[in-house]
Amino acid sequence: MSLLIVGSIAIDTVKTPVEEHSNLLGGSASYAALGASFFSPVRLVGVVGNDFPESEFQFWKSRKIDSEGVQRANGKTFRWSGEYSWDLNTRETRSIALNVFEHFKPALPKSYRQTDFVLLANIAPSLQSHVLDQMERPRFVVADTMDLWIETARSDLDALLRRVDLLILNDSEAREITKETSLIKAGRRIRKMGPHYVAIKKGEHGALLFGEDEYFSCGAYPLEDIHDPTGAGDTFAGGMAGYLAGTVKKVHFNDLRKSMIYGSVLASFCVEAFSLERLRKLSMEDIAQRYETFKLMSQFEVPI
């Protein structure tokens, strides 16, 4: 089965204390699509400008990422520039130019509307809902969000939460949306807002997964060298959604546990190079090897 992914497609400039690189492929949909493509064919929805390189369309095609849903508009592609601190955990946005993304309104090709699995990557919740309005009874819907939408579009976000099966957000966002300091309380409270499942990302400390009466804590793969954290969360979401779309017909909690491990593995590869360069060179053998190492380190009592 295919996975429909909608989100931003961007051209980034990223600076760390050691390096700076410009004109990098970025955006939530770009990272999520490549992460998901290791497990499932992807139907990509986004918008790019006249300056977007044709080579990326060819690359997507080589990875079974269908780009029919990517609009090509007159103007420049969404551009973002950011700078990371020494610990690479915090970053400052230096500039944003929405360009053609400012007026983006996702329009799904007819062939996309019956896709069973959907990942609403990080864009405004009103646009995420607009995508669902065009879908014909999707089987499983995953949504990502961020603090900006919690602060500025809360009513739209609340409406969206009642339509999704899995919400993915980070620890600070979980605390902000619930006003809870405990992530356990936050995860349970978010479930009551609508999603059947909630995944809370904790960066280098792993992730938490909440079901109705079930809970799972996933560690993070230990890395010696991190070059660029940009897109790690989007890659995590893409890995989770892609695994589910590619291997599961009816999603159960144990399937989500396994998908979370794969999402964490892919995110660990993502940060090893700038932009998507590490993911471009990645093989399923690399993923499988790190997955097995991850299992041994974690010593899971239940086989996954």
Where do we find the tokens 């230096």? 94
Residue 300 has pLDDT above 70, yes or no: no
What per-residue confidence (pLDDT) applies to 220? 84
Contact 54, 27 (CB under 8 A): no
Residue 294 has pLDDT above 90, yes or no: no
What per-residue confidence (pLDDT) applies to 16? 94
Q: Which residues contact 10 (CB under 8 A, 6 or more apart)?
A: 25, 26, 27, 30, 77, 78, 79, 80, 101
What per-residue confidence (pLDDT) applies to 203? 83
Calculate the dihedral angle through the C-alpha atoms of 259, 261, 266, 270, rounding to the nearest 10 degrees. 130
What per-residue confidence (pLDDT) applies to 183? 96
Percent of the chain with pLDDT over 70: 98
Q: How far apart are CA 2 and CA 33, in angstroms?
A: 11
What per-residue confidence (pLDDT) applies to 127? 97
Q: Which residues contact 110 (CB under 8 A, 6 or more apart)?
A: none
Query: Model confidence over 146-198: pLDDT tens digits?
Result: 999 999 999 999 999 999 999 999 999 999 999 999 999 999 999 999 999 99
Q: Which residues contact 214 (CB under 8 A, 6 or more apart)?
A: 253
Identify the DSSP state of 123: S
Global model pTM greater than 0.85 = yes
From 181, 217, 182, select the one nearest 199 (Cα to Cα): 217
What is the mean pLDDT of the segment spanning 248-267? 94
Q: How far apart are CA 50 and CA 52, in angstroms?
A: 6
Reported for 15-22, long-range contacts at CB under 8 A and 24+ positions apart, including other chains, are 15/81, 15/82, 15/83, 15/84, 15/94, 16/83, 16/84, 16/88, 16/227, 16/228, 17/84, 17/85, 17/86, 18/227, 19/227, 19/274, 21/228, 21/274, 21/275
Please name every residue paired with 21 in a beta bridge, in sequence order, or none if there are none: 14
Give ∠ CA 244-250-252 in degrees, rounded to 5.
Answer: 75
Query: Model confidence over 69-96: pLDDT tens digits?
Result: 999 999 999 999 999 998 887 889 999 9
Please give the domain boundaries of the chain with CATH numbers for all domains.
3-298 (3.40.1190.20)
What per-residue confidence (pLDDT) applies to 304? 53
Q: Return left, alpha or beta for 92; rule: phi > 0 is left, psi -120 to 50 is alpha, else beta.
A: beta
What per-residue confidence (pLDDT) applies to 225? 83
Q: What residue type is assigned to position 5 of the chain?
A: I
Task: Grade residue 298 by pLDDT with cuts at 50, 70 and 90.
Answer: low
